[in-house]
Structure 1
Amino acid sequence: MSIVRNVKVESRDIKWISDNFKSGELIIDNSFQRRYVWIKKDKISLIESILMGYPIPEVYLWQNKTDPETGKRVHSIVDGQQRLGAVFDYVSEQFSLEKKHLEYQDANFSGKKFSELEDDQKAMIWGYDFSIRFINNSIMIDDIKNLFLRLNRTNTTLNPQELRNAEFNGEFIKLADEISKHPFWKDYNIFNNTDLRRMLDIQFISTILIFIRMGIAEETSQSAINKVYDQYNDEYPEAEEDKELFMELLNVLNFILKGKDNLQYIAKRKTHFYTLFTLSFYIFRIKLDSANNYQSVSTKLEEWFAHYKNETNFENDTVRALLDEYRLLSQEGVQKKANRQRRLDILKEYLSA
C-alpha cells in the first residue's frame, strides 16, 4: 500500500501539541522509537529558533487508533520525537534558556523559563506552527517502522542500536531491555547518561546475552548482534533460563565488586566488565559460592586491577608477565574473539596461582 496516498499535510501549533501530549492523544511508540536523546543544549537551541521565527523540519504522526466512544484519536510520533518533546518540556517549565547554550546570548529571553517570557513571546510559542504529515490508520505498523528507518538511516545521529530498536521488537531485545532496568547497573554506575540516552546499555547487555547463549567465542560485532536479534525475534524458548542465569551472575559480580573501589572503577570500562562477567560465569559454574571464596577472589582481583590502574607491577615474574599481556589485550583488538578468551584465561590463571 502506498503511504503517500494515505498522508495529508497540515499545520498544528504548539498549543495543539501540548494539549495532545497532556491528553494522551500524542504518544511516543517505544516499539520503534529510540529513547529520548536530546540534552538541554539541543532543546534550548530549538526554542531559540522558534523565538527567532526560524522554520523547523516537518513532523510525521501516525493515527494508530480511535476511541469509538469518545472519538479521541491517538497519534504516534513517527519522526520528530525530539522536537515535539523539547517544546512540550519547555512550556511545561522543565528547563530555562540558559545563556551559555544560546547563539544570541544577549536576547531578552536569555535565562528565562516559559513563565518568565514576555507575553508576546509566549504567544509566539503557543502559535508557532509545525508542518505535520498525518498518516492515517490504514497503514500497518510494519510499514510505519520501515518509514521510520528510511527517514533516519541517513541521519548520523541514529546509532546501530537505535536502528535495531526500530527494526526489532522481539523476544531477544525485550529481554535485554528488561535486564537493563536491574538496579545493579545504577548501583555501580556501569552506564553513563550518554549510554542510557543512546541505548548503548541495551547494546552492551545484548553482547553479554550472546555470551550466555552462544559462548565467548561468538562474534559481538554490530552485524552479529543484528543476526541474533533476527534469530531470536519471534521465538526465544531459552529466554527465562538465560534471564535466570544473568541474574545469578550479577549476584556473583555484586559479591566481587562490593566495597572494592579499584574494581568498581575498572568495571566502568566495558572491556573489563565483559571480562569480569565471563569470569563470574566460570566462578558460578565451578560452584565457588561460599562467602570466604568470593572474598578471596574479590581481594585478589582488587590487587590485580590496582596494579593495572596505577600502572605498577607485581614482583612475581610470572604474574607480572600475565599482567603485561592483559594490558596489551585490553588496549588492542579488544573485541577479537581470541583476545576476549585470552583475557579470561589470564584472570583464571592468576586466581589459581
Structure 2
Amino acid sequence: MQVTTTGFTIAEYCDQMEKGSITINRDYQRSDAVWPPAARSYLIDTILHGFPIPKFCLSQKTDLRSRKTVKEIVDGQQRSKAILDFYENKFRLTGKSEFSGRSYDQLDQGDKQRFISYSISADVFVGATDNEIRQVFRRMNSYTVPLNPQEKRHATHQGELKWFIVEVTERYENTLKSIGVFTEKQLSRMQDSGLLSEIVMTMLTGIKTASQSLLNKFYTDKDAEFPEEQDMSTRIDQAFTHILRWEQIHNTTLMKPFQFFTFFLAISHALKPLSVLNSVYQASALRTFNDDIVLANLGAISEALDAEDPPEFLINFVSASRAGTNTKINREMRFKTYSTAMRPQMLQ
C-alpha cells in the first residue's frame, strides 16, 4: 500500500464529487447518524474563518477495463457531504456567527472566494485492501491519547445541548484561563466545557454527586430539544459579569474548579433563585450585590481555606473543601456558604 498526501481546494473537491471521481463508500461509514444543522454549520463556519479541519482519508482505485481512477472517501464522509451541500446551496448556516442564516449564494464575494479556495488535506491510500485500511485506523487509534469523558460526549452527541455548550465555552474559555480556573492544557482537554456542562445540569436538576453517567444522560435528554437555552445563556452571562468585576478573587483558591462550581451557582441563585436549589438554600432575588460586603465575605472564605485553624463559622465549609469535594453533601455545604456570602450582611 502506498500513502500520499495531497491537497484540494474545496472547489476542486466538490467538482470531483459531482463528477463521481470522488465517491462515498458506505462500507467505511463509522456512524449512521445524520449530522444535525448545528454540526454542519459549525464545520462550514470553521472553514469560513480559516481554521483547520481534520485531514480526510481517501482510497484510490483504478478500474483496469475503463482505466478510470476513482477515490473513495474512507474517513470524512459527513464532512464531505456537509461541504458539498453548502457548495450546492442546499442549506443555510445556523448559530450566532456573522455568517448565520446565509446559504453559499448569500455570502459576500470575498467569503465565497475564501470558502471555495480553502485547502483540504487528504491522505490517499493507493492500492490498499480493506484489511490494510482497517489496519490504518487501528494503528492510528493505538497511538492517540484516549478521550476523556467530556471529549467523548462531544464526539458522540450532536444535539442542541452540545452546541450550546460549545458556544458558551468559546465565549468564556479565555476568561476561565485569565482568572485562574484552568490552565491552557486543561482547556485543550475540554475541562472548561465539562465544568460549564455540570453547572447547566445542576441549574436544571439540582445538586448531586458528580457523575459521568448523569452528564451522559443529560446530554442525551437534551439532544433533540433544549428549551432552557436562553435562560441558561443569560444566567451564565450575568454570573460572569460579576465574577469579572470582583478582581480581588481572581487567581485565588476560590477559583479552583470545584469551588468555582458552587460559587457560580450561588451567584446565579442569588440574582434569580432556582427552584431546584431552594431546598438547599431558600433565597430571595437580589437586584444587585453590595460589592464591598460580598468581597469581604469571599476574602474571609479564602483566608479560612488557607488557615491552619479556620474560624468556627467556616469549619464545615473548609471541611467540605478538603475531601470528597464533588459529593452532594459537600457541594451543598459550600453552596450554602457561598449563598450566604452573597447576601448584604457579613458572614459570622
Under a length normalisation based on structure 2, what TM-score does the superposition of the two structures give?
Answer: 0.56
Question: Counterparts of 1:232 and 1:246 in 2: how far apart (Å)?
Answer: 18
Once residues 165 and 236 of structure 1 are traced to their aligned partners in structure 2, the CA distance between those partners, rounded to angstroms, is: 16
1:188 aligns with 2:141: no
Change (3 A) 1:153 1:264: same
1:161 matched to 2:150: yes
Per the alignment, residue 173 of structure 1 pairs with 162
> CA separation in 2, counterparts of 1:185 and 1:233?
26
Count the aligned residue pairs.
233
Q: CA deviation at 1:179?
A: 1.1
Is 1:205–2:196 an aligned residue pair?
yes
Cα deviation for residue 245 of structure 1 reads 1.6
5 Å-filtered alignment, 1:113-262, equals 132=125, 157-183=146-172, 184-216=175-207, 218-255=208-245, 257-258=246-247, 260-261=248-249
Are 2:3 and 1:11 aligned? Answer: yes
The structure-2 alpha-carbon separation of the partners of 1:25 and 1:298, relative to structure 1 and needing over 3 Å to count, comes to farther
Indicate the residue corresponding to 1:142 in structure 2.
none
1:236 to partner: Cα distance = 0.8
Residue 154 to residue 352, structure 1, CA distance change in 2 (3 Å): same
Deviation at 1:278, TM superposition (A): 1.9
Q: Secondary structure at the match of 1:11?
A: strand
Residue segments in structure 1 that go unaligned for 5+ positions in a row: 1-8, 34-58, 72-128, 136-147, 315-319
Distance 2:335 2:320 in 1: 11
Q: Does 1:279 align with 2:300?
A: no
**Structure 1 counterpart of 2:253, from 266, 269, 285:** 266
* 2:300 equivalent among 278, 300, 303: 303
- 1:324 Cα shift? 2.6
Residues 150 and 194 in structure 2, CA contact (< 8 A), matched pair in contact too = yes
Q: 1:24 to 1:303 in 2, by over 3 A?
A: farther
User: Residues 321, 235 of structure 1: CA spacing in aligned structure 2 closer, same or farther, 3 A cutoff?
Assistant: same
* One-letter code aligned to 1:12: T
Partners of 1:281 and 1:328 in 2: how far apart?
24
Unaligned 5+ segments in structure 2 are: 15-34, 43-72, 89-121, 129-136, 273-283
**1:187 Cα deviation (Å)?**
3.9
CA distance in 2, matches of 1:167, 1:134: 32
Q: CA RMSD in A?
A: 4.0
The CA deviation at 1:253 is 2.5
Amino acid at match of 1:178: E
Residue 227 (structure 1) shift: 0.4
Partners in 2 of 1:284 and 1:236 — Cα distance? 22
Structure 2 counterparts to residues 32-181 of structure 1, below 5 A: 61-63=75-77, 64-65=80-81, 132=125, 157-181=146-170
The two structures have a TM-score, normalised by structure 1, of 0.55
The 2-side partners of 1:200 and 1:306 are apart by 26
In 1, Cα distance between equivalents of 2:178 and 2:211: 27
CA distance in 1, matches of 2:162, 2:231: 15
Aligned to 1:140: none
Equivalent residue number for residue 327 of structure 1: 318
Cα distance, 1:164 vs structure 2? 1.1
TM superposition shift of 1:23 = 8.3
Aligned counterpart, 1:288: 286
Sort the Cα spacing of 1:297 and 1:133 in 2 relative to 1 into closer, same or farther, 3 A.
Answer: farther
How far apart are the structure 2 equivalents of 1:25 and 1:223?
40
Give me the whole-angstrom Cα distance separating, in 2, the residues matched to 1:133 and 1:303. 67
Inter-CA distance 297–176: structure 2 relative to 1 (3 Å threshold): same
Displacement of 1:288? 3.2
Structure 1 counterpart of 2:285, which letter? Answer: K
Distance 1:349 1:290, change over 3 A: closer
Relative to structure 1, is the Cα distance of residues 163 and 153 closer, same or farther in structure 2, using a 3 angstrom cutoff? farther
SS at match of 1:12: strand
Contact 1:161 1:200 in 2 (8 A): yes
Whole-angstrom distance in 2 between the partners of 1:134 and 1:20:
20
**Structure 2 residue identity aligned to 1:266:** T
Which residue in the other structure is 1:44 paired with?
Answer: none
Native 8 Å contact 2:324 2:330 kept in 1: yes
Distance in 1, Cα, partners of 2:142 & 2:215: 18
Q: Give the distance between the partners of 1:271 and 1:186, measured in 2 at CA.
A: 15
CA change 1:60–1:269 in 2 (3 A) is farther
Structure 1 residues 133 and 346: alpha-carbon distance in aligned structure 2, compared to 1, 3 A threshold? farther
Indicate conservation of the 8 Å contact 1:326/1:343, yes or no: yes
Amino acid paired to 1:271 = F
Q: Distance in 1 between matches of 2:285 and 2:161?
A: 28
CA contact (8 A) 1:152 1:158 kept: no
Q: C-alpha distance in 2, partners of 1:302/1:181?
A: 29
Q: How far apart are the structure 2 equivalents of 1:134 and 1:282?
A: 62
> How far apart, CA to CA, are the structure 1 residues paired with 2:218 and 2:127?
34
Give the Å deviation of 1:280.
0.8
